[in-house]
Structures are given as structure tokens and as C-alpha cells.
Amino acid sequence: MKAWLRWLILALFAIYFFGPLLSMLDFSTKKNGGGRTGAAWKALVTDEQVRHAIVQSLLLCVATVVLMLVLLVPTMVWVRLRLPRLRRLIEFLCLLPLTIPALVIVVGINGVYAWVNYFFGYSPLVLTFAYVVLVLPYSYRALDASLSSIDVTTLAEAARSLGAGWFTVIVRVVAPNLGAGILSAAFISVALVLGEFTFASLLNYQTLPVVIDLFGKSDSHVSVAASLGTIVFASLLLLLLSFAGRRSRGPKGV
């Protein structure tokens, strides 16, 4: 492709993508009578409801990442080492949430959440359980790629021959070698949880996206500010991820 054409296409896409983002910046700092104000952005910290929602969403991110790793890493390593025949099944199950829309799970999860609330109360943090399912396909892929790049069996056999138990093998030998995969699974999970609306809204928990939607009806300036904040935060997070950890692939051809 000709260089000028490439740059022209890039420029058009840049206008399309950054146009709305710049509009958000403009909109969120506009004063109703004219002029500029930072009130909407200030409200993100000063408004009790918004601040609480932001904190809840961030806590949800952390909780989801932790539970996802605790559930997925040992299972995947175990399957590779001891139950290779179950690999296809585990993969199928992990990718299933791509086929069953979140909305469908919400519709059917009322009964389950009645029990969850009974045991864990009504904090938004109980959403963690559903969110782990939601991030499963993406986390699985990231971890699977990472697992495939190391020789788990040899690592485990070496550790076992040195006297390590299975717990030590998984937590202290294999997991540290999955750095890149764990990192990327975690970041993608955060990006997904941060914007998750379907579960939170229909199960009535006040996470950030729910509060953004709520404010849209009264003070849309705050909603727009929070929306832009979310997009920028997630973009920076993913940009950071692209610099961290991921080893480069070998040269393509010659």
C-alpha cells in the first residue's frame, strides 16, 4: 500500500475514534451558560455515590482477578500434568461464556444469587462470582498461550524429582513461569470488569457503569466525565500491558 494512502486511512480512523473522545472532554467541561468548569470531573471524587461506585468497581476488578487466578491456574496446570485427556473439555467449558450471552446468564442466575446473598450479603463484591465466568474465555486463552510456551511437564518432573509436592510444583514452580500469561489474563479481566453493566444493572448493584447510567438522567456531565475516565484508564492499562512482560515472537520468516 502506498505510504500516503496508509496515512490518509489512519488519519480518517483517528478522526473517527478521537472525535467522540474529544467531544466527551469538551462536553464534560462545558458550563451550562458558556465557559469551562471542572465540576463534573471534581464530582468523580467528591460525590459520595460516584466515589463509592468507583471504589466498588476497582475492588471488583481485584477480587475477580484473584478468584479467576486461584480457580484457573491450578486447574489448567493440573489438567496439563495429570489429566491431558480433559484438556478439550476444559477448553470447551472455558470458551462457553462466549456462546452463552451474559444477558442469558443474568436471566437464569436469580436462584443462585439468592443463595450467594444469603451467604455473602448484598455488597456489589458478590458480583465477583459471575464476573469470573465472564472473563473466563479471555483469561483461559492468555494462560493457555503462556502454558504452551513452557514445558510444564519437564518443569514439574524436575521439581518432583527434587522432592517438591504438587502444591509447591503449581504455586512455586509453574506459576512464576507464567508471568506474561497471568499478567495479560489479569489486565484483560480488569478491562472487562471495569465496564461490565449487564449483571450489575439487572441484579441492582451500584458499580461504576451503573452509576454512570443513573447519572445520565440527572447530570449527564458527570456521566460523560466518568465514561471518558473509564475509557482512558482502560486504554492506558492495556498500553502498559503491551510494554510489560510479553516476550516478542521469533522473527517472521526471513
> Which C-beta is closer to other proteins: that of 158 or that of 239?
239
In the region spanning residues 160 to 199, those forming contacts with other proteins, defined by CB under 8 A, are 188, 191-192, 194-198
State yes or no: residue 15 binds other proteins (CB under 8 A).
Answer: no
Among 31, 38, 46, 98, binds other proteins (CB under 8 A): 98
Provide the minimum distance between the beta carbon of 110 and other proteins in the complex, in angstroms, as a whole number.
Answer: 8
Options 44, 58, 66, 86; binder of other proteins; rule CB under 8 A: 86
Q: What is the CA radius of gyration of the chain?
A: 22
Q: Which of 143, 134, 149 is nearest to 182 (CA)?
A: 143
Residue 86 or 125 having the CB closest to other proteins: 86
Query: Given the rule CB under 8 A, which of 143-151, 155-163, 172-180, 243-251 is the region that contacts other proteins?
Result: 243-251
Q: Does 96 bind other proteins (CB under 8 A)?
A: yes
Identify which range of 43-51, 100-108, 141-149, 157-165 contacts other proteins by CB under 8 A: 100-108
21 touches other proteins (CB under 8 A):
yes
Span interacting with other proteins, options 74-82, 119-127, 144-152, 154-162, rule CB under 8 A: 74-82
Q: Which stretch binds other proteins (CB under 8 A): 46-54, 81-89, 117-125, 142-150?
A: 81-89
**CB of 90 or CB of 173, closer to other proteins:** 90
